[in-house]
Amino acid sequence: MPRENCTIREHQVGPFRAVTISNGLLSLTVLPEKGADIYALEYIPRGVDVLWKSPWGLHRPGSSIPSAANSEAAWLEHYEGGWQDIFPNGGDACSYRGAGLNFHGEASVIAWDYALKTRGTSAVEVEFTTQLARSPFRMRRTIRLERASRAILITERIENRAEEDLHYMWGQHPAFGAPLLDGGCRLHIPARTFLAHAEEISPNCRALAGARSAWPFVEAKGGGVVDLATLPPAADRVTEFGYLCDIEEGWYGLTNPGLGFGFGLAWPKEVFPYLWFWQELRGSFGYPWYGSCYVMAVEPFTSIPGIGLLKAIENGTAPILSAGGSVESRIAAVCFEAGEPESISKDGSVRLGHVPGRT
């Protein structure tokens, strides 16, 4: 198979400027004006974009109903799917040090600057930066793709530019959809514990609210256990929300045996020691899902629960960034074929084990 050169293209996606990098195996599109969201991540040999797209799509800020009752509704109105950087707040809005922190934080809703750092045939690299307005944090995200690689390499850095120490929540919010997502998909995670969210978010939740169980066979609200590592049949209506804890290594893989294809993520577990687990498999009715959304997100996070910074501080899981300090993370997003992952490294290397259908 010939090795295609790396390319980079600046163009328009709906109302937003976009930057797309590609190497013939992977194509990744970022929207700098929309939180530097990763809008699409396509595995070209299969023609599969692994990221979900919301049915309401992209809207330029200010183009939809301007009377959202709260910041959660405002965030959801402009949630196109894809992959967001959630910072410095996760989940419910709250007030911290006099600043109103909106639902899922400021970083995912403001514009970022970008610069092309490497533009060669063997590698491309783009740097995205932003300065938050309500909190004194600066963020930088560098995305790199090399020729013949099946991995996107992402380096992120947060800096506290204040003269006081500050708490924060930080997470990665990749949302997966069909055709990658389907009944029978398997989630491979070296974790020991699942903690169901304290309150049931839908009557179609299967896990018992607030229950702490050994992953992946978690306590079901109707008795018995449910295997959360295997997606239910696509015709079922299911909603789940909870947290994976006691993570042994910072990686997971999501495989679709029917496609013989999977997606994996690797990250530093010392930065993101938890995973938020969200399934909206046509299981919630009314605003905003209306029973029509089929999406799953598995999100490396600094903190739990997912109901705002103040609750994370109460829970003792909100890190503190010292005045003038910084934190950096290195993440790999990788596509792979024909096997189940035994490990995924932050350089994008995948060690595969069992191949379904083979002995």
- C-alpha to C-alpha distances, 14 to 81, 84, 208, nearest whole angstrom: 14, 18, 41
CA-based angle 24:21:251, to the nearest 5?
A: 85
Domain that holds residue 185: 7-352
> Cα(337)–Cα(355) distance, rounded to whole angstroms?
9
In a domain, 2, yes or no: no
In a domain, 1, yes or no: no
Confidence tier at 359 by pLDDT (50, 70, 90): very low
In a domain, 190, yes or no: yes
10 Å CB burial of residue 203 (0-12, 13-18, 19+) is exposed
> pTM of this prediction?
0.95
pLDDT above 70 covers a percentage of the chain that reads 95
In a domain, 124, yes or no: yes
Q: How many CB atoms lie within 10 A of CB 221?
A: 15
- Is the pLDDT at 3 greater than 80? The verdict is no
Looking at residue 354, its pLDDT comes to 64
Looking at residue 353, its pLDDT comes to 87
- Which CATH number goes with the domain that contains 319? 2.70.98.10
Using DSSP bridges, classify how beta strands 261-266 and 7-13 pair: parallel, antiparallel or unpaired: unpaired
In a domain, 243, yes or no: yes
| Phi and psi, residue 75, nearest 5° | -65, -45
The predicted-structure confidence for 57-103, as pLDDT tens digits, reads as follows 998 765 555 555 689 998 999 999 999 999 999 999 999 999 999 99
Domain total of the chain: 1
Q: Work out the average pLDDT over 321-347.
A: 96
CB 305 within 8 A of CB 91: yes
In a domain, 268, yes or no: yes
In a domain, 357, yes or no: no
In a domain, 358, yes or no: no
